[in-house]
Structure 1
Amino acid sequence: MYFYKLTIYVLLFFFLNISGFAQLSKVEKKLVKLIDEENDTAISLLKEVVNINSGTMNFKGVREVGQVFIEKFEALGMEAYWQDGSAFNRSGHVVAKIEGGTGKKIMMIGHLDTVFEKDSPNQEWIPLEGNMVKGPGVADMKGGNVIILQTLTALHKQGLLSKLNITVVLTGDEEKSGRPLDLSKKALVDAAKWADIALGFENGDGNPSTAVVARRSSSDWILNVSGKASHSSQIFKPQVGAGAINEASRILHQFYEQLSSEKYLTFNPGVIVGGTTITHDTNLNSGTAFGKDNVVSKELSVAGDIRCISVEQLQKTQKAMKTIVANHLPQTNATITFSGGYPPFSLTDSNYELLEKFSQVSQDLGFGKVNPVDPGDAGAADISFTSEYIDMGLDGLGLGGSHGHTIDETGDLSTLPMQTKRAAVLIYRLTKD
């Protein structure tokens, strides 16, 4: 009985793949074959770069990984170079370009850095059972970088790459962005202004049956509150008022009451320091407070973030927060300031259209339908900086895996050729449209 069931499953899988492949053109079938032939090479390259520590602040390691990819892109006939990051206090970025035709202009996005610095215990490639491997950045996102390269390699070997318009940007500071952001993200913005379509090869939610059509923004706010210090027995009297802590409590409660139910909007007061005297260093994410239970609080500071699905939602939220802050309790004052961060990768019909094209490619390859990740579950990423300029975009096209940003980060090597085939056929079809 077991053999009978196993035979049925094998035949069904074979039938689905054959029926899917029947939808592929001759060129697309050749791309699939080339990717399978290069898969061992791709795995070897992934192992090589995973074993190079490239924690964001290890500038030498980030550049070393970047140089590996520069040489590979140059071998494909692309113009590839290192963009120094000293102006924004980071290692830098890799940019690779080829312009060979009048078709769609496509940018492909990856990042070289990981969250695992040189003092992390997670430093090397460790094979696990089956197709799984453990290692720093294997899924987030050195696997995605290899998928980009292998996609372009297959197109090159088919004689197609030289006829396409492609720009690749592999940033060196995705996990810990350099400042100022306008310099840190300039390579992405410049490429986006040139491009029609952006494809991001982050690992998304780690599930290759999904892709990311939208990401929420990520920006910061600081609330500073002052009150009138006095003996606690005098609180609420006209000459003393409510105190800084009560004023901050009012503001934060009204933020929650008025804004917490809005779809895709979140705001989080992550740090609060209050008392008679305080220090609050937002760069170090730390502070101190001195106060007594019988003294009305004089100073308070809150640091938080906002995440929104669109620029319009962000602007509306900031306006509402300012209005709430301005309605002071007696003898108190408060100000809120907002700082720039990652913009939203906006939810658009054209992004869904691109997802449909990608999903059709996946089905034609026999890999099944691809569904959108809930934007509420998708954090900010480098592709967000392209949203203002491109016609359509899609992210989460990288290697399958799990436990990202932990020492147990793993990648599923069986998804490497699958994701590469999807990307190669998608790009071929997009440039033919």
Structure 2
Amino acid sequence: MTNPLDLPFNTDEMLLGLKPWIETESPTFDAASVNRMMDLVQYELAALGARVERIPGRMGLGDSVRATMPHKNTGQGGILLLGHLDTVHPIGTLEKLPFRREGNICYGPGLMDMKGGNYVYLDALRKLLAAGIETSLPVTVLFTPDEEIGTPSTRELIETEAKRHKYILVPEPARQDGGAVIGRYAIARFKLQTRGRPSHASWALKDGRSAIAEMAKSVAKIENMTTEDRSFSLGVFHAGQWVNCVSSVCDAEVLSMAKTQELLDEGVAMMLALNSDAGDVVMNVCQSVTRPVWEPDQPGTMAMLSIAQEIAGEIGFEMSGCSDGGGSDGNFTGSLGLATLDSIGVRGKGLHTLNEHIEVDSLVERARLAAALFCRLKA
């Protein structure tokens, strides 16, 4: 059997394959655009001989794609490759952040988070199939459309599918030191709305009660609740249509992250305590999606990390493993006690910004890691 680490991975070939992925913009809230990305990936998976299913989207969001790779034990649980194909970048971002290579850096919206990692792991499967190397366990691929907004429409799908498998690989971007994530903090999102009293902003200003002003007072109050172990960030703010009208409605969204579930639960209580109908402006706070804490050091995950570290040593780099902030769909699988290795995708910086980029030489590095993981993770 050929050593998976010796497969002919080629950087230029991978960049050529990645280009249409990045140039197919797929912001979460644009279901049609996300589905064009799903079309592209569905075709590539079918071309590999996989049995591909298109799972219709719901809640106004895009579809999911599930593919079962060819294997003598097809139908049995094995390895789940779990990734998302939605991005935070709106249509038109390519004009400001075009797909381009400059030396060892390649830029593009969604390239780091997380189309690059998804592509690399598919390329590993492509090369294994071409070389006639069968993975130790059957591999299933699941790509979803809504991770960037907390996975409201596909959490149940992810959890149900993951329970069928022994190992879950999540090729989110690698940590800054190139390491993997073996646990994640808990996350909650909140929707806020203030409702005031409209009036003309000039001759009847005193008759109005500004929803914007009331929400603005809450920003510092909410963000000042942040501690070393729990954070609050107001990241969305929508209000007003006419400058000559006192605003009657203001909407906002808050993200909270905590190192433990207990701390998150306390944070949820603190946010819900902001609900108020006293005074002239009403404040309404409701919790939306939540990612449960994924406790680190679970035996199955640590065994996976050990295998990954051994492979990394053979490739020529060190792979650390630790619990981390941020959220991913690994929160769901890890919190279920399933062996999950997260952030094993490409190296890069600037995710969610107009400087999002990857280190080009990490493409081959991570493809080799992926190929060896697919072969060494055993029943």
Is TM > 0.5 for Structure 1 vs Structure 2?
Answer: yes
Q: What root-mean-square deviation, in Å, do the aligned CA atoms of Structure 1 and Structure 2 show?
A: 3.9
From the superposition, tell whether residues 331 and 116 of structure 1 become closer, same or farther in structure 2 (CA, over 3 Å): closer
Correspondence 1:9-408 to 2 at 5 A: 27=1, 30-36=3-9, 38-85=10-57, 87-98=58-69, 100-101=72-73, 105-120=78-93, 121-122=95-96, 124-129=98-103, 131-161=104-134, 164-176=137-149, 181=152, 183-205=153-175, 207=176, 209-221=178-190, 261=227, 263=229, 265-268=230-233, 270=234, 285-286=238-239, 304-318=254-268, 338-350=286-298, 351-367=301-317, 369-373=318-322, 375=324, 378-408=325-355
From the superposition, tell whether residues 260 and 163 of structure 1 become closer, same or farther in structure 2 (CA, over 3 Å): closer
Identify, as 1 or 2, the structure richer in helix.
1
Deviations 1:214-262 (A, max 9, x none): 2223213468999xxxxxxxxxxxxxxxxxx9xx99x959x96xx7556
Deviations 1:74-128 (A, max 9, x none): 233321122222x221222221124643986221122222222223233632121
Q: Determine the C-alpha separation between the residues in 2 that align with 1:199 and 1:421.
A: 14
Task: Return the offset for 1:213.
Answer: 1.7
Secondary structure (helix, strand or coil) at the match of 1:91 reads coil
The more displaced of 184-193 and 89-98 is: 184-193
What is the identity, as a one-letter code, of the residue corresponding to 2:183? A
What is the identity, as a one-letter code, of the residue corresponding to 1:356? S
Question: Could you say which residue in structure 2 is the equivalent of 1:274?
Answer: none
What is the identity, as a one-letter code, of the residue corresponding to 1:169? L
Q: Determine the C-alpha separation between the residues in 1 that align with 2:77 and 2:177.
A: 25
Task: Return the offset for 1:146.
Answer: 1.0
Structure 2 portions without partners, runs of 5+: 196-213, 242-248
What is the identity, as a one-letter code, of the residue corresponding to 1:267? F
What is the identity, as a one-letter code, of the residue corresponding to 1:215? R
Q: Determine the C-alpha separation between the residues in 1 that align with 2:133 and 2:52.
A: 18
Q: Determine the C-alpha separation between the residues in 1 that align with 2:331 and 2:108.
A: 26
Q: Determine the C-alpha separation between the residues in 2 that align with 1:401 and 1:360.
A: 22
The higher radius of gyration belongs to 1
From the superposition, tell whether residues 300 and 401 of structure 1 become closer, same or farther in structure 2 (CA, over 3 Å): closer
Secondary structure (helix, strand or coil) at the match of 1:397 reads coil
Deviations 1:300-339 (A, max 9, x none): 99864321234344335445777x779x9x999x998551
Secondary structure (helix, strand or coil) at the match of 1:387 reads helix
Whether the 8 Å CA contact 1:342–1:385 is kept in 2: the answer is no
Q: Determine the C-alpha separation between the residues in 2 that align with 1:224 and 1:176.
A: 18
From the superposition, tell whether residues 91 and 349 of structure 1 become closer, same or farther in structure 2 (CA, over 3 Å): same
From the superposition, tell whether residues 340 and 311 of structure 1 become closer, same or farther in structure 2 (CA, over 3 Å): farther
Number of residue pairs the alignment of both structures matches: 349
From the superposition, tell whether residues 303 and 57 of structure 1 become closer, same or farther in structure 2 (CA, over 3 Å): closer
Whether the 8 Å CA contact 1:95–1:169 is kept in 2: the answer is yes
- TM-score, with structure 2 as normaliser: 0.76
Task: Return the offset for 1:357.
Answer: 2.4
Q: Determine the C-alpha separation between the residues in 1 that align with 2:39 and 2:193.
A: 45
Secondary structure (helix, strand or coil) at the match of 2:183 reads coil
From the superposition, tell whether residues 175 and 69 of structure 1 become closer, same or farther in structure 2 (CA, over 3 Å): same
Whether the 8 Å CA contact 2:170–2:342 is kept in 1: the answer is yes
Q: Determine the C-alpha separation between the residues in 2 that align with 1:153 and 1:39.
A: 14
Task: Return the offset for 1:35.
Answer: 4.0
Whether the 8 Å CA contact 1:208–1:397 is kept in 2: the answer is no
Q: Determine the C-alpha separation between the residues in 2 that align with 1:360 and 1:303.
A: 42
Task: Return the offset for 1:412.
Answer: 1.6
Q: Determine the C-alpha separation between the residues in 1 that align with 2:92 and 2:274.
A: 42
Q: Determine the C-alpha separation between the residues in 2 that align with 1:176 and 1:303.
A: 11
What is the identity, as a one-letter code, of the residue corresponding to 1:44? L
From the superposition, tell whether residues 381 and 335 of structure 1 become closer, same or farther in structure 2 (CA, over 3 Å): same
Secondary structure (helix, strand or coil) at the match of 1:194 reads coil
Secondary structure (helix, strand or coil) at the match of 1:266 reads strand
Whether the 8 Å CA contact 2:120–2:366 is kept in 1: the answer is yes
Task: Return the offset for 1:193.
Answer: 2.2
Whether the 8 Å CA contact 1:216–1:307 is kept in 2: the answer is yes
Q: Determine the C-alpha separation between the residues in 1 that align with 2:308 and 2:351.
A: 24
- Identity rate of aligned residues, in percent? 23
